[in-house]
Amino acid sequence: MSQDPRREEWAAVCTRLRRLAGDANWFSLRPDFDDLTASTRTGEDTLDGWHALEAELARRAEVELDHVVRHGKGGDAHAYRGDGSQTRHGCPREICDRVAWAPAGAPPECLLFGAPMHELP
């Protein structure tokens, strides 16, 4: 979509947002997650903060994995999850290249901005 590599980084953050929220809860970093979300919604450039939070979550998960085995899956920013009757939707603020598939007229919500994603051509 765009030549700006940060858009792909934002798409990756958005794709993993639900997992990040859960991990932040699990590792008692929810206040950090909530602060980053609020700052992002006000227009601040928080991408480095999201990367730092992900790094800290990964560090804590690795420590935990010394004691517990867990299984998970990463998300694909452009994954198709439909049967052909769905349309592509994009970032409501156009800061990332994430694409989500949903029925036309029923856009998925962007968890980062708390707003419906817009339909893409």
Question: Does residue 116 lie in a domain region?
Answer: no
DSSP reduced 3-state for 109: strand
76-104 mean pLDDT: 76
> How many Å apart are CA 86 and CA 63, to the nearest integer?
41
Q: Which domain holds residue 57?
A: 17-65
* Tokens 């992900």 belong to residue: 54
Average pLDDT, the chain: 83
In a domain, 106, yes or no: no
Query: How far is it, in rounded angstroms, from Cα 45 to Cα 19?
Result: 21
Task: Indicate yes or no: pTM above 0.75.
Answer: no
Residue 49 lies in a domain: yes
Give the pLDDT of residue 91. 93
pLDDT for the residue numbered 72: 33
Q: How many domains does the chain have?
A: 1
Q: Is residue 55 part of a domain?
A: yes
Give the helix ranges, DSSP H, for the chain.
Answer: 5-15, 17-26, 30-41, 47-65
Return d(Cα 9, Cα 5) in angstroms, integer. Answer: 7
Q: Is residue 11 part of a domain?
A: no
Per-residue pLDDT tens digits for 43-79: 999 999 999 999 999 988 887 665 433 333 334 445 5
